[in-house]
Amino acid sequence: MGDTALRVTAVVVVCLLLPVLHGPPGSAGHSNETKDLPPPGTVDMSLEEAICRRMSVRAFTDEPVDMQALSTVLWHAIGGDGQRAIHPVAASYGLRIYVLMENGVYRYSPGNHSLVMHRQGDYRWVGQYDTASVKLGIVWDRQRCSSENVAGANIGQMGQNVYYVANALGLGTVTTASEVAQLRLVGLPSHEKPMVIMPLGYPAEAYRFSYHPLASGLPVPENSSTSLSAAIDGRAEAIAWKGSLSRREQTQLVWASYGSSYYVDEVNDRRHRTVPSSHGTYPLRILCCNATGIYEYLPDRHAMAVHTREDRRDAVAAASRFFVSSAPLVIVPVLNTSMVDMRYPWPWHYEAAAAGYTALLEATAWNLSGTLIGALDAGEMRAALMLDTDYLPLYVVPLGEPADAPDDRAPSVRIVQPVEGQLYLFGRAVMPSGATIILGSLDAVATASDDYAVQCLRFYVDGSAAGFSYGNGSVALPVSGVPASHELVVVAHDYAGNTARATMRYLKLM
């Protein structure tokens, strides 16, 4: 099509579609009966004991879980709006918890710590392990989070808290996904995808543990004076560090991320790990970077193997975020892709983020701090860690004594494409049109900057998540079957919780 014909077509499109531009996108909502939960209890068990007691329970008694215990588990799982209990990977939670009880299915509302009736009836037969008194159905809300791997990472953190708190209260649980699709039978909205079901109940056989630390040249993990609740409530991210860490402190942090319990489970005659793994695979390698080199943690032996005697923290920082280089210890969970089916990567993001998150809890217990970084260049990180292509670095966890790094300035963000007031035909800006009109496919492009570091950009169309990037990025604008007005919002997040947004309205067809 020549330029003249293209412009004629453009004028026709403008005349036909411009009246639609100012029509707001449709919305709908509803309200349901709400059941307030009692205030959550405090779990006084030491963090390390809770970590060591983490185990999967698949057989339960018929004793009901009381509302006080359920309240405590749910609160510690994700926290309230004022203080969330997990670190939001890519500045997004994107999760919803459904509570399957005898009299109905409820949605958990973290904001006011309540249960909202979703559907009446006993649906506890959904999924596995039907003897559990309660089941927690955790779903990915695709309107709030566009990435299944990010959702998996956040579920990994939440799952750790459910495991720890349930065990400390004498309850048991297990993460299950093999029959999770049955959760759709409770009537989930189309934008919610079932991810895992965690049955919750009293173990059929009571816990019995005995203390048997692994013999090793490394310091034996020991209990801090910090309770499980205090560690979850007190966890805070850092973006700058100072000083160094003792051998004891480094050992505690690395052990917590992926180690073996110093307890033996006498019921099952085995030693459990600090983190669960799908089908017991445990395909991660935990690489630890400090001033003296890179080491691989060997969980079964509670030992370190030398990877290189070279300080590679600057290279690790260059492949992720510059501030990582100031951390005295950097943990990198690396996936051995030869051990897993990479068509389904989200369970390994669950496992890697669970490992990083547990290290963050352990850091809190020792008056240290860190953060969980998903922004990394896999190729550059492999080079920094001197790994071959069978290994995929998933997250970076810098840890140490936090240093002052005031960052109260919001980032800046700009929508580069589409340009306001232009008509686009099949990816090309054709002519000014007085309004932003798009016919055919087009990518929205945005850039951001910050005085410290941008964590990520999140793209929304009409309030629903459309995509994200860890830096300057783009997403394909959703298809619109009929002429409709839409709102594009791009939100930039930095690591201190500051945000900025750019907004544009556009008319879209196709």
Q: Output the 3-class SS for 305-358.
A: EEEECCCCHHHHHHCCCHHHHHCCEEEEEEEEHHHCCCCCCHHHHHHHHHHHHH
Band of pLDDT at residue 79, cut at 50, 70 and 90: confident
Q: Say if residue 6's pLDDT is above 60.
A: no
Average pLDDT over residues 248-253: 98
pLDDT at 82: 62
Distance of alpha carbon 243 from the chain centroid: 29
Residue 23 is predicted with a pLDDT of: 37
262 neighbors 213 (Cβ within 8 angstroms): yes
Lowest mean pLDDT among 2-6, 299-303, 348-352, 468-472: 2-6
Q: Does pLDDT of 336 surpass 50?
A: yes
**pLDDT range class, residue 407, cuts 50, 70, 90:** confident
| Model confidence at 279: pLDDT above 90 | yes
Looking at residue 19, its pLDDT comes to: 43
Q: What does the pLDDT read at residue 84? A: 81
Q: State mean pLDDT over 420-432.
A: 96
pLDDT digits (tens, 9 = 90+) for 123-182: 999 999 999 999 999 999 999 999 999 999 999 999 999 999 999 999 999 999 999 999
* Rounded CA separation 198/54 (Å): 14
Give the strands of the sheet with 412-417, arranged side by side: 412-417, 443-449, 473-476
Instruction: Give the model's pLDDT for residue 30.
Output: 40
Q: What is the pLDDT of residue 480?
A: 87
pLDDT at 81: 61
Arithmetic mean of pLDDT, 197-225 = 96
Domain 34-201 has CATH 3.40.109.10: yes
209-402 shares the fold of 34-201: yes
pLDDT bucket at 406, cuts 50 / 70 / 90: confident
Average pLDDT over residues 352-356: 98
DSSP-derived letter for residue 273 is B
Q: What is the pLDDT of residue 28?
A: 34
Report the mean per-residue pLDDT for the chain.
93
Antiparallel, parallel or unpaired: β 422-425 and 437-439: parallel
Structural domain spans, the chain? 34-201, 209-402, 408-509
Q: Is the pLDDT of residue 280 over 90?
A: yes
Query: Do the Cβ atoms of 353 and 147 come closer than 8 Å?
Result: no
CATH architecture under which domain 209-402 falls = 3-Layer(aba) Sandwich (3.40)
Using CA atoms in the order 189, 25, 415, 94, what is the torsion angle rounded to 10 degrees?
-20
Per-residue DSSP letter, 3: H
* DSSP-assigned letters across all residues of 47-77: HHHHHHT------B-SPPPPHHHHHHHHHHH
How far, in Å, CA of 6 to CA of 99, rounded? 56
- Asked if the model's pLDDT at residue 225 lies above 50, the reply is yes
Domain 408-509 class?
mainly beta
Q: Give 28's DSSP letter.
A: -
CA–CA distance, 409 with 494 (Å, rounded to integer): 9
Q: Are 82 and 124 in contact (CB under 8 A)?
A: no
Amino acid present at 126:
V
pTM for the full predicted model: 0.93
Kindly tell me if the per-residue pLDDT of 1 is higher than 80: no
Over 293-316, what HEC string results?
A: EEEEEECCCCEEEEEECCCCHHHH
